[in-house]
């Protein structure tokens, strides 16, 4: 397919030796994997214990980034909650605990040769640009970095460039997914959940929706971004063939990159 690697998916081998063998056979690398933190719900010590094991696994498969999302109060998996109007909001004390906890997790990541990249995400307490601002302002840039996800910030705020330009220095990992405006409008009006929204086709791969990836790439290249770009889209595989859409997304990005190669 021309891809260099993939993030760890739910059906991948959990044994590092087995996964490394499968990756070697395919000439692929692993940049990282999602980690659900519950710092606010369970406390910092509990999160640290779980994250220590996670980072040991990532180190064994030669990853470079630990993608973290705070899932306390998250509605992203709740099908009867409208993701557009019912997102959680953290209190001041919860924000303080979250930021202290992320600094602690970031130190663990660094000790394993990894970078913690926080994933702003629809349906969570860190979704909007002001919430990302607050997280970045109250965490240590040595330990806490940012994952820039075009699809999530576009659905949340209607634009991708403000977050990219404001926090570029903290961005260490990038997810490229597109958004179909017509589907988004319909799901918003119908008060759909996150799950039902992506099953209805809100997200798609770059070039198949309405996000201006030409401008995003121009900024990344112009500012010498050197991390991974992961092409993705939460979609219903029965409607949108994963391999076909992965190839479609890569083709679009490759065409845009010709201007810089």
| pLDDT at residue 260 in the model | 84
| pLDDT at residue 78 in the model | 97
Average the pLDDT over 106-126 and give the result: 99
Average the pLDDT over 220-226 and give the result: 97
| Residue 98 banded pLDDT, cuts 50, 70, 90 | very high
| pLDDT at residue 10 in the model | 85
Contacts of 120 (CB under 8 A, 6+ apart): 126, 127, 128, 131, 132, 146, 147, 149, 152, 153, 156, 163
pTM of the model: 0.96
Average the pLDDT over 144-167 and give the result: 99
Give the Cβ contact number of residue 62 at 10 Å: 13
Q: 3-state SS of 4-71?
A: CECCCCCCCCCCHHHHHHHHHHHCCECCEEEEEECHHHHCHHHHHHHHHHHHHHHHHCCCCEEEEEEC
Report all structural domains of the chain as residue ranges with CATH numbers, in order of start. Answer: 16-257 (3.20.20.150)
Give the alpha-carbon dihedral of 161, 167, 169, 171, to 10 degrees. -80
Rounded CA separation 161/150 (Å): 9
| pLDDT at residue 171 in the model | 99
In DSSP terms, which residues pair with 78 in a beta bridge? none
Average the pLDDT over 26-35 and give the result: 97
| Residue 261 banded pLDDT, cuts 50, 70, 90 | confident
Residue 249 in this model has a pLDDT that exceeds 80: yes
| Residue 259 banded pLDDT, cuts 50, 70, 90 | confident
Average the pLDDT over 156-168 and give the result: 99
Total residue length of the chain: 261
């Amino acid at each position: 397919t021309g891809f260099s690697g993939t993030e760890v998916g739910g059906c991948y081998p959990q044994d590092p030796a087995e996964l490394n063998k499968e990756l070697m056979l395919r000439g692929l690398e692993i940049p990282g994997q999602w980690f659900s933190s519950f710092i606010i719900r369970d406390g910092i010590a509990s999160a640290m214990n779980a994250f220590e094991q996670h980072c040991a696994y990532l180190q064994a498969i030669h990853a470079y980034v630990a993608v973290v999302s705070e899932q306390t109060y998250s509605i992203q998996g709740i099908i009867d909650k409208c993701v557009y109007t019912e997102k959680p909001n953290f209190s001041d004390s919860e924000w303080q605990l979250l930021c202290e906890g992320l600094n602690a997790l970031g130190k663990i990541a660094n000790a394993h040769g990894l970078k913690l990249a926080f994933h702003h995400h629809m349906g969570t307490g860190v979704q909007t640009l002001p919430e990302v601002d607050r997280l970045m302002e109250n965490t240590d840039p040595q330990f806490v970095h940012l994952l820039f996800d075009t699809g999530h910030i576009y659905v949340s705020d209607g634009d991708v460039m403000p977050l990219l330009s404001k926090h570029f220095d903290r961005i260490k990992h990038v997810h490229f997914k597109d958004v179909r405006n017509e589907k988004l409008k319909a799901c918003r009006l119908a008060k759909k959940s996150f799950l039902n929204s992506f099953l209805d086709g809100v997200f798609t791969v770059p070039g198949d929706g309405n996000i201006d990836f030409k401008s995003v790439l121009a900024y990344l290249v112009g500012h010498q971004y050197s991390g991974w770009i992961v092409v993705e889209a939460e979609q219903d595989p029965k409607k949108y063939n994963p391999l076909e859409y992965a190839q479609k997304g890569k083709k679009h990005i490759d065409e845009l990159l010709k201007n810089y190669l």
